[in-house]
């Protein structure tokens, strides 16, 4: 299995290169839609770099925190990622939002499962009680992965996006992490 490593502020260029490659595949070459942009803007900008770097050092459960992990290919390129972030609203510090992505050539290898387990274990360690995520309704493989871990649909914005001539639903899924649950990540 591949190594999962924590992303540091110094990894910004590797991170944005990965996001750019990932978003360029959305809805193309038989891939499901997963980006709200038909022509993805570059993930790299001085403002994004500043936000990326500063959020990685904000203490967990403080407004604006983020943590991220990656899997790299033999050439050192990030090919899969997990990002977890807290809200800027202090009264939401018991929740976090999950983002995950693997480039097409690296899917269906168990990496998504490993990253999901990491997210749930992170929530347990930090006393975070809810994990939220958003997924396009047509991304059935991703939805199946999330459901294996106990996520349930908690909302749906029908026809939120119009991409490549299609109406795309944006689905919110949520997982409650009871503080006394131990490690639910082992159940999937």
CATH at residue 27: 3.40.630.30
What is the separation of C-alpha 101 from the centre of its chain, rounded to a whole number of angstroms? 6
Query: Quick one: pLDDT at residue 104?
Result: 83
The more confidently predicted of residues 52 and 38 is 52
Query: Quick one: pLDDT at residue 184?
Result: 47
Confidence of residue 187 (pLDDT cuts 50, 70, 90): very low
Q: Are 142 and 135 a contacting pair, CB within 8 Å?
A: yes
The domain total for the chain is: 1
Domain that includes residue 13, residue range:
5-187
Check pLDDT > 70 for residue 76. yes
Q: How many CB atoms lie within 10 A of CB 4?
A: 17
pLDDT-above-70 percentage for the chain: 92
What mean pLDDT value characterizes the chain? 89
Residues 6 or more apart whose Cβ sits within 8 Å of residue 149: 116, 120, 175, 184, 185, 187, 188
Query: What is the torsion angle, in degrees rounded to the nearest 10, for the CA atoms of residue 161, residue 106, residue 113 and residue 52?
Result: -60
Q: How many CB atoms lie within 10 A of CB 153?
A: 14
pTM, two decimal places: 0.89
């Amino acid at each position: 299995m591949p190594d999962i490593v924590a992303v540091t502020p110094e990894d910004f260029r590797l991170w944005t290169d990965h996001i750019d490659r990932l978003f360029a595949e959305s809805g193309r070459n038989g891939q499901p839609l997963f980006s709200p942009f038909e022509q993805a803007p570059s993930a790299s900008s001085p403002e994004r770099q500043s936000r990326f770097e500063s959020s990685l050092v904000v203490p967990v459960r403080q407004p604006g925190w983020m943590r991220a992990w990656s899997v790299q290919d033999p050439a050192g390129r990030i090919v899969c990622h997990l990002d977890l972030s807290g809200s800027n609203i202090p009264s939401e510090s018991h929740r976090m939002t999950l983002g995950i992505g693997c480039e097409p050539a690296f899917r269906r290898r168990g990496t998504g499962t490993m990253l999901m387990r990491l997210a749930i274990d992170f929530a347990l360690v930090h006393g975070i009680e809810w994990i939220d995520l958003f997924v396009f309704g047509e991304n059935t493989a991703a939805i199946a992965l999330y459901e294996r871990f106990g996520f349930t649909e908690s909302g749906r914005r029908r026809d939120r996006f119009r991409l490549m001539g299609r109406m795309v639903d944006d689905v919110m899924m949520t997982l409650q992490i009871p503080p006394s649950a131990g490690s639910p990540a082992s159940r999937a």
